[in-house]
Amino acid sequence: MLLLVLIILLVILCLIEREFDRKVEQDIPEENCRKCGKNVATDLLICPHCSSLLREHCSCCGHSKLIAYRHCPWCGANGGEARDHYATS
């Protein structure tokens, strides 16, 4: 009887652990490296697989932005120059 309870507890623990692992995996957002196509965490500056640059710092506001983005998602700067419709409005 005690053995049965222990086995049930172990199974429940395993299930909780698996669920936790899945949640942890989901919590880390990933994107594909543009060069090698492998999954890399979104907050990385350089791909750990092929060492290509994934992000650069916006020359306008200093936030890191994806190389793939033309405009900085933080300040709207385009290639280092702030868009003037923000300044005129």
Q: Is 60 in the site for Zn ion (CB under 5 A)?
A: yes
At residue 84, what is the residue type? Answer: D
Q: Is 54 in the site for Zn ion (CB under 5 A)?
A: no
Q: Is 33 in the site for Zn ion (CB under 5 A)?
A: yes
Which of these segments, 8-16, 19-27, 43-51, 80-88, binds Zn ion (CB under 5 A)? 43-51
Q: Where are the alpha helices (DSSP H) in the chain?
A: 2-27, 84-88
Question: Which backbone phi and psi does 67 adopt, to 5 degrees?
Answer: -55, -35
Question: Which backbone phi and psi does 88 adopt, to 5 degrees?
Answer: -80, -25
Q: How far is the CB of 81 from Zn ion (least distance, A)?
A: 10
Nearest to Zn ion of 7, 61 (CB atom): 61
